[in-house]
Amino acid sequence: MQIKNIIKSIDYEKFFYTITCLHVIVWTILPTLLRHSLPMDALEGWVWGQNLDFGYDRNPWLNAWLTALAVKIGGTWMVYLFSQLSIAACFLVVWKLGKKMLNPLYALIAVLLLEGIQYYTIAAVDFNDNVLEIGLWALTIWFFYSAYKDGKFMTWIMTGFFAGLALMAKYYTLVLLFPLFLFLLGDKSARKNCLKLPFYCGGITFLIIIAPHCLWLFHHNFETIKYALLRISDITQNTITHFALMQLLALLLPALLCLTVIASKHTEPLCTHHNPSKSDRMFLLTIALGPYFFTLIIALIFKMTLHTMWGTPLLSFFPLLLLAYTQPIVSRKTFYRFLISVALVFSAFAGGYSYSIIYRGYESSANYPAQKIAQTIEQQWHKNYNNKIMFVVGDRYTAGNFAYFAQDNPTIIVADKTHPTINNFPQNTLFIWQKDQPILPKNIKAMTQEFYWKRNSNKQPLPIGFAFFPE
């Protein structure tokens, strides 16, 4: 009876912030305690971030800069925190938008339904461009919604600011910006903003954010765009049908969770219905379905291949759309049942993630013995030479992991299939590789040492090749 009274008098605002803080804490602590090295995308971002630039070979600059900042100010755990802050930003926007268009109860349910999508839990451990998009898309949407409603300078400037940052996280942001622009032109009340100065101030802010990267592209032979074009023409990637179905499949669990909250028409509801306006309904359709269908249309027209994880930011507003159009009756009993269901799903994701790393993580980056490799090879160097290791040459994963844990803080020189080794190497350089040995300078001896995977000492050890090039 006491639990029911608590639910009846629940402060949805406090509940939302409590749940969001719990999510951030759990999904920051778990990888910090369980992983022995950074996820591959996060490590790649850190490698890029060792040289702050306005673009890199595979992505614009934001992901690299933020990853480097996270490591600088807090180390490994801060990288995981940055991921969860992006998720929290998305939760906050869904909550605020839900309150504006519907009611606090539906807004809270919409946020909790996102806990049933792996993009916001397990996949969000790896701080990368996809995870960044989740938060930045949401913030762009929130300020766009506020801007076309109030037409103020600051809201349009913030719209341009976050839209620019989102594009600097990943070019895929264009599939969000295009539907938003169409909505602006198609909605009568929103269209009025196109004749006012604040809208253009937002546009100028957007251009200021992306301008340095555009200049960088001109000076680097459009390297990032070429990589993006290569990826969408890669026949090893998923088909359009596979991409579309995987995004819909990701919504299956939230849809099932939503069923647990529906009560009969004869029960006392926890809240009264609030039907969103025609403009708000169209806006919800735009942000929830626009990027998804625009992706599929563009892919069909240009015969593009799609990677499933590119859909990471697409699903944030599907729960809100579902609630807006179904308007389920929620009773105290069904809400209690829904909370239990969400708690079980949350626990299952956290437990499954932990189990997969501890018991099924052989040859996973989580159990890669990066610190042991760095310590062992660095000790061998210092037994023979007095100077520090100034440079490490190798693929971005092997060399990156060494540099991340090495006490000498060497500069990374990436040498892989897309970045062949250079001819003239600086002195005090370490060469390191896992599979393909780079072309070494003459009279340099290649060595190999085996290292056991963490938590899997009875499995096949990992051979690491390395060579020293001192003064």
Neighbours of 1 (CB within 10 A): 5
Q: What is the DSSP letter of 38?
A: -
Distance CA 432, CA 468 (A): 9
Q: What integer pLDDT is reported at residue 130 of this predicted model?
A: 96
Q: What integer pLDDT is reported at residue 330 of this predicted model?
A: 87
Q: What is the pLDDT along the chain (471 residues), one digit of tens a residue?
A: 444 444 455 789 999 999 999 999 999 999 999 999 999 999 999 999 999 999 999 999 999 999 999 999 999 999 999 999 999 999 999 999 999 999 999 999 999 999 999 999 999 999 999 999 999 999 999 999 999 999 999 999 999 999 999 999 999 999 999 999 999 999 888 899 999 999 999 999 999 999 999 999 999 999 999 998 888 887 666 788 889 999 999 999 988 888 887 766 667 777 777 788 899 999 999 999 999 999 999 999 988 889 999 999 999 999 999 999 988 888 888 888 999 999 999 999 999 999 999 887 666 889 999 999 999 999 999 999 989 999 999 999 999 999 999 999 999 998 866 555 555 678 899 999 988 777 777 778 889 999 998 887 677 889 999 999 887
Q: Of 360, 383, 415, which marks where a domain is finished?
A: 360
Angle at 328 between CA 330 and CA 346, to 5 degrees: 70
Q: Is 85 helix (H, G, I), strand (E, B) or coil?
A: helix
Q: Of 314, 338, 360, which marks where a domain is finished?
A: 360
Under the phi-then-psi rule, with left for phi > 0, alpha for psi from -120 to 50, and beta for the rest, what region is 449? beta
109 and 163 co-located in one domain: yes
pTM for the whole thing? 0.93
SS3 sequence of 212-223: HHHHHHHHCCCH
Closest CA to 146 of 88, 199, 89, 85: 199
Instruction: Give the neighbor-by-neighbor strand order of the sheet with 391-394.
Output: 411-414, 391-394, 429-433, 462-469, 447-451
Distance CA 27, CA 17 (A): 15
246 and 391 co-located in one domain: no
Q: What integer pLDDT is reported at residue 361 of this predicted model?
A: 62
393 and 245 co-located in one domain: no
48 and 141 co-located in one domain: yes
Under the phi-then-psi rule, with left for phi > 0, alpha for psi from -120 to 50, and beta for the rest, what region is 273? beta
Structure tokens at 380: 């061998």
Give CA separation, 225 vs 101, 229, 369, in Å: 38, 6, 34
Residue with the two structure tokens 């379905």? 289
410 and 335 co-located in one domain: no
Q: What integer pLDDT is reported at residue 70 of this predicted model?
A: 97
39 and 86 co-located in one domain: yes
**Identity of the amino acid at 270:** L
| pLDDT tens-digit readout, 92-132 | 999 999 999 999 999 999 999 999 999 999 999 999 999 99
The DSSP bridge partners found for residue 447 are 466
99 and 20 co-located in one domain: yes
356 and 374 co-located in one domain: no
The total domain count for the chain is 2
Q: What integer pLDDT is reported at residue 9 of this predicted model?
A: 57
Cα dihedral sign, 252-27-142-340: positive
| pLDDT tens-digit readout, 46-57 | 999 999 999 999
Q: What integer pLDDT is reported at residue 126 of this predicted model?
A: 94
Q: What integer pLDDT is reported at residue 348 of this predicted model?
A: 95
**DSSP line for 199-253:** HHHHHHHHHHHHHHHHHHHHHTTTHHHHHHHHHHT-TTSB-HHHHHHHHHHHTHH
Q: Is 295 helix (H, G, I), strand (E, B) or coil?
A: helix
Q: What residues make up the domain containing 422?
A: 368-469
| pLDDT tens-digit readout, 230-263 | 888 876 667 888 899 999 999 999 888 888 877 6
CB under 8 Å, gap of 24 or more: what pairs does 384-388 form? 384/468, 384/470, 385/428, 385/468, 385/470, 385/471, 387/428, 387/470, 387/471, 388/428
Q: Of 360, 381, 408, which marks where a domain is finished?
A: 360
355 and 457 co-located in one domain: no
288 and 312 co-located in one domain: yes
Residue with the two structure tokens 């639990």? 3
46 and 159 co-located in one domain: yes
351 and 390 co-located in one domain: no
Q: What integer pLDDT is reported at residue 402 of this predicted model?
A: 97
Is 290 exposed, middle or buried, given 0-12, 13-18 or 19+ CB atoms closer than 10 A?
A: buried
Give CA separation, 308 vs 48, 199, 203, 240, 251, in Å: 24, 34, 31, 9, 14
Closest CA to 365 of 465, 456, 239, 273: 456
